[in-house]
Chains A and B, each alone.
Chain A
Amino acid sequence: MRDKTLILVIILVVLAGLVGPFVYSRMSTGAPWPPKLDPPPGGEKRCVEPKEYMRERHVDLLIQWRDARVRHGVLKYTASDGREYVMSLTQTCIGCHSNKAEFCDRCHDRMSVHPPCWDCHTYPEKGAATK
């Protein structure tokens, strides 16, 4: 048992390496999560679909809109509560969510997803600085 101390040190180092990231993320005072969002400028209270659905599944809705609009030539979307919307990312969505850096990027950056929407679709100047 000559190496007792050495083994103990190695075990401690390995443990620190495993637990460290979790401790670090607990301690670090980054941006609060989930981020606080400003209310939309137009005073609109409701999104196209309920907030919970939009938070988790907005990409599904956007893909559904894209296919309906591009491949089937449909202009209007009827929401689950019966209201109608023009299926347009840059007109309907951006009408309320007019700040890309605040609204899109904060979550996408944290989740490390980089949808290429804005390579082609144009964002209002204010939030268009990145990418």
Chain B
Amino acid sequence: MTRREFLRLMALSGFAFAASSDILKADASKTNGTAKKAAKRYAMVVSVPGCAKKEGCTACIDACRRTHNVPDIPDVRRQIKWIWTSPFEALFPEQPTYAQQLRGRQTLALCNHCEDPPCVAVCPTKATFKRDDGIVVMDYHRCIGCRYCMAACPYGARSFNWQDPRPFIHTIDKGYPTRAKGVVEKCNFCEERLLRGLAPACVDACADNCLAFGDLNDESSSVRKLLASRPALRRKPELGTRPKVFYLLA
């Protein structure tokens, strides 16, 4: 091979390489062009006065218990809570002056499905994670029961199974698993019902429409309309977790 031939060959192969990498780039840009699905941001709105009107009503709590096989354990230290009631001032310890009339009222509490969930940040196995639609869910298969998430959650929304929960479940719904001893559990915003186009069980169960559920990114959703019409509180906003459960005071 002469020097001239060698240089010619090098120039040609250089061209070929440049051309092929350009083609690759063009292909990549084509496949990346697929439209991304509009993300949802699920939220719940609780009407505190509406709920407080019916003292002793546990329709939503019972519905949740039935739907998710939540055990009913008499020992308070071992209780499992997905949705429960607490005095208003226990949920809102900052005690806003404009909510004085609500002191002592039993108020609903559940997992807030925070925008910035501390439980997700601390979970060492990624058993707890935040989905694209903002729901903070648990993969019980991965939970190792370390309870970091319980320490991290500022809302007490997580419970640990100190024992096999099955003996404490009144009737086991075969459509949903129970949990095993040694895992943490919490509200999942009924993601299994959402998948089938149903509203969360607690929202369906409330006869007085004290609970609303919907997509915050959808301007026509019921939660957006409610939040636009009235002032609402979130629990412990100073922590910066940005809860997605809102409480209407009037």
For the complex, is B84 an interface residue (Cβ under 8 Å from A)?
no
Chain A interfacial residues counted at CB < 8 A: 13
Give chain A residues whose Cβ lies under 8 Å from the Cβ of B141. Answer: 66, 70
Give chain A residues whose Cβ lies under 8 Å from the Cβ of B191. Answer: 73
For the complex, is A71 an interface residue (Cβ under 8 Å from B)?
yes
- Compute the total of residue contacts between A and B using a CB distance below 8 Å: 29
| Chain B contact residues: helix, strand, loop or mixed | loop
Q: Is the pair A75, B139 in contact by a Cβ cutoff of 8 Å?
A: no
Chain B interfacial residues counted at CB < 8 A: 17
Given A119-B180, A120-B140, A120-B180, A73 contacting B195 (CB threshold 8 A): yes
Q: Is the pair A122, B139 in contact by a Cβ cutoff of 8 Å?
A: no
B175 touches which one: A70, A90, A116, A120 (CB < 8 A)? A90
A71 touches which one: B129, B133, B179 (CB < 8 A)? B129
Binary per-residue interface labels of chain A (64-99) against chain B in the complex, 1 for a CB within 8 Å, 0 otherwise: 001000110101000000000000001100000000
Q: Is the pair A121, B177 in contact by a Cβ cutoff of 8 Å?
A: yes
A14 to B180: give the CA distance in the assembly, Å: 46
For the complex, is A127 an interface residue (Cβ under 8 Å from B)?
no
For the complex, is B172 an interface residue (Cβ under 8 Å from A)?
yes
Give chain B residues whose Cβ lies under 8 Å from the Cβ of A75. Answer: 195-196
Q: Is the pair A90, B195 in contact by a Cβ cutoff of 8 Å?
A: no
For the complex, is A124 an interface residue (Cβ under 8 Å from B)?
yes
For the complex, is B25 an interface residue (Cβ under 8 Å from A)?
no
- Name B133's closest neighbour in chain A (CB-CB): A73
Give chain B residues whose Cβ lies under 8 Å from the Cβ of A122. Answer: 172, 174, 177-178
Binary per-residue interface labels of chain A (103-131) against chain B in the complex, 1 for a CB within 8 Å, 0 otherwise: 00000000000001001111010000000
